[in-house]
Amino acid sequence: MVGNYDVIVVGAGNAALCAAIAAAEDGAHVLVLERAPKGKRGGNTWFGDGAMRFAHRGLPDVRKLVQRMTNKKADLIDLPPYPVDQYINDLMELSEDRADEKLANVLARESYPTMRWLKAEGVPFVLLFDTQAYEIQGSFQFWGGVSVKVKGEGVAFIDSLIERAEKLGVEVAYEARAIALQRTPEGLEVEVHRPHDSVRFRAPAVVLACGGFESSMRERTRHLGARWNSAVVRGTEYNHGDGLSMALSMGAVRAGDWASCHAVATDANAPAYGDREKMGDIFKRHSYPLGIVINAHAKRFIDEGADFRNYTSVQYGREVLRQKGGIAYQIFDAQVTDYLREEYSRPEATRVEAETIEDLAGALELDPQTLADTVAAYNESIQAGRFAPAKLDRKSTAELNPPKSNWALPIQKPPFVAYPVQCAITFTFGGIQVSERAEVLAEDGEPIEGLYAAGAMVGGLFYGRYPSGAGLMAGATFGRIAGIDAARYAQD
């Protein structure tokens, strides 16, 4: 059995659905192939908080994206611009200048137009008051280059995109695993395994947007190392690298950091895969810059205040994995608990509280004297300065290893609270080489005719570290580009 379409999109997350919508709007007959059943659709996007990093000129630009806001409320918001050049600089700096500068330019330049497009497609956006702003003296001070998320988070993002795609006539096939791709005289042919049969679909153009290999223990071991077998997966269980294998079989070239990934600190009792019974990104623990982080030896091992968590969370997730037992503990005192992100107060949060540091150590089954010494050494090293959580305040430590470069407040006011965390992988950084138009490139640098890629399959943007919100934005941006070009290729 063979079905014929203009464009076939493999995957049903953010990048894939943006590609499908863009292609359909250009007049293409589009089929989406989703490996998961309908009740588990949406890839990793479904599990995220929907935060988007895009370039803008400040609050006037951002107000055009979010729900209606009164001038009175706008006057209470301090939201600095995030220009295109800063976006590019962040991508290059965090990758130590290894990122593909052409792709970084496309992402930064097209991010705001893509946000405007998403809004027009029916995706609702709101300001990130809860996780990217602190209320200080009556003003909401935004920080870290991210200010907007999808209202209703990843669930609403996927639902909005699916609704729009179906209105445009896009067909979605669930429990349809694409496993092979080949060229025929009639076009590209995708072999699909379904629960009770196999089928082939054919189209002039194919967009591969089905994620990386983070859900495959075999592939994680092969590329990241055996240690990563103990990491839980924040999102879908269906990302096994199928799209990467198909692209490589067609002559695609590997690109990006195949030995690294996006991984963060998550609750020590988080499930092995994303929990679809509890919507939202409820297990991550990203307020660590406000306290200290210790390992099972009751010792600090990172500079918690090196930068905003938007730029350090991926690096520190991997550091947790390297600790004994793959476990760490975020410790705060009563001075900062009101600043903690909302997920810290959810019933799912694993939390230990005590009136003394020694009792806290006992409850965590750590050596009380070692923890007391660690806290004392930290407290004694703190330099004078004004604590300002919405900026790099340079309130730091001296002669302490590792140092704390910002937001160094003494751990001294009870009750003391600790949150045990482990490492959770989100997506892999290794992908395939694409052009600025999302065309999959061969070894000679020429496009493979009719083949496009988007989302986590695009290699070359992220190396080692990562600016939060850039993944979803890259997926939407290159997904839209891939859909437009795939439709035009099919029509030509």
Structure tokens at 23: 């292609």
Over residues 362-389, mean pLDDT? 97
Distance, CA of 301 to CA of 284 (rounded, Å): 19
Q: Does the pLDDT value for residue 213 go beyond 60?
A: yes
What letter would DSSP give residue 66?
A: B
pLDDT of amino acid 287 = 96
pLDDT of amino acid 67 = 82
Over residues 421-446, mean pLDDT? 97
What letter would DSSP give residue 383?
A: P
* pLDDT tens-digit readout, 290-320: 999 999 999 999 999 999 999 999 999 999 9
Contact partners, residue 205, CB within 8 Å, separation at least 6: 6, 7, 8, 23, 28, 187, 188, 450, 451, 452, 486, 487, 489, 490
Map residue 354 onto helix, strand or coil.
Answer: strand
Q: Does the pLDDT value for residue 277 go beyond 90?
A: no
Q: State the span(s) of the chain assigned CATH 3.90.700.10.
A: 263-424
Distance, CA of 88 to CA of 230 (rounded, Å): 34
Tell me yes or no: is domain 2-213+429-491 CATH 3.40.630.10.
no
DSSP string, 160-182: HHHHHHHHTT-EEESS-EEEEEE
CB 314 within 8 A of CB 284: no
* pLDDT tens-digit readout, 55-83: 999 999 999 999 888 899 999 999 999 99
pLDDT of amino acid 316 = 95
Q: Does the pLDDT value for residue 1 go beyond 60?
A: no
Average pLDDT value over all residues in the chain: 96
pLDDT of amino acid 373 = 98
pTM of the model: 0.95
Dihedrals φ, ψ of 283, to 5°? -100, -15
Structure tokens at 187: 């076009």
Q: Does the pLDDT value for residue 280 go beyond 80?
A: no
Distance, CA of 431 to CA of 202 (rounded, Å): 24
pLDDT of amino acid 50 = 95
Contact partners, residue 203, CB within 8 Å, separation at least 6: 4, 5, 6, 7, 8, 31, 187, 188, 190, 450, 490
With 0-12 CB in 10 A as exposed, 13-18 as middle and 19+ as buried, what is 69? middle
- The type of residue at 172 is V
> Which pLDDT band holds residue 250 (cuts at 50, 70, 90)?
very high
Q: State the span(s) of the chain assigned CATH 3.50.50.60.
A: 2-213+429-491
Map residue 123 onto helix, strand or coil.
Answer: coil
Helix residue ranges, H only, 323-469: 357-363, 368-381
Among 420, 410, 417, residue whose Cα is nearest residue 338: 417
> Which pLDDT band holds residue 105 (cuts at 50, 70, 90)?
very high
101-120 and 84-94 helices, crossing angle to 10°: 130
> Which pLDDT band holds residue 441 (cuts at 50, 70, 90)?
very high
470-491 and 101-120 helices, crossing angle to 10°: 80
Q: Does the pLDDT value for residue 492 go beyond 90?
A: no
Distance, CA of 120 to CA of 135 (rounded, Å): 31
Over residues 420-440, mean pLDDT? 97
CATH architecture of the region 263-424: Alpha-Beta Complex (3.90)
What letter would DSSP give residue 68?
A: P
| Half-sphere exposure at residue 356, Cβ-oriented, CA atoms within 13 angstroms | 7
* pLDDT tens-digit readout, 131-174: 999 999 889 999 999 999 999 999 999 999 999 999 999 999 99
Dihedrals φ, ψ of 393, to 5°? -85, -5
pLDDT of amino acid 275 = 86
CB 483 within 8 A of CB 7: yes
Structure tokens at 482: 């891939």
pLDDT of amino acid 276 = 86
CB 440 within 8 A of CB 74: no
* pLDDT tens-digit readout, 5-43: 999 999 999 999 999 999 999 999 999 999 999 999 999
Contact partners, residue 446, CB within 8 Å, separation at least 6: none
Structure tokens at 340: 């903690």
- The type of residue at 111 is S
